[in-house]
Structure 1
Amino acid sequence: MTMHCHSSLPDVTAMLRGAGLRPTRQRVALAELLFSKGNRHISAENLHEEAIVANVPVSLATVYNTLHQFTEVGLLREVAVEGTKTYFDTNTEEHHHFFLEDENRVIDIPGAGVSLDNLPEPPEGMRISRVDVVVRLKRIDA
Structure 2
Amino acid sequence: MTHAPTHAESRFDRGQRALSRIDGKAGEKVVASLADIAPDFARYVIEFPFGDIYCRPDLGLRDREIATIAALTALGNAAPQLKVHIEAGLNVGLSRDEIVEIIMQMAVYAGFPAAVNGLFAAKEVFAAQDGQQASGNAT
Pair in the same fold by TM > 0.5: no
Larger-gyration structure (1/2) = 1
Please, what TM-score do these two structures have when normalized by structure 1?
A: 0.30
Q: Which has the higher helix share?
A: 2
Please, what TM-score do these two structures have when normalized by structure 2?
A: 0.30
Relative CO higher for 1 or 2, CA cutoff 8 Å, sep ≥ 6? 2
Q: Which has the higher strand share?
A: 1
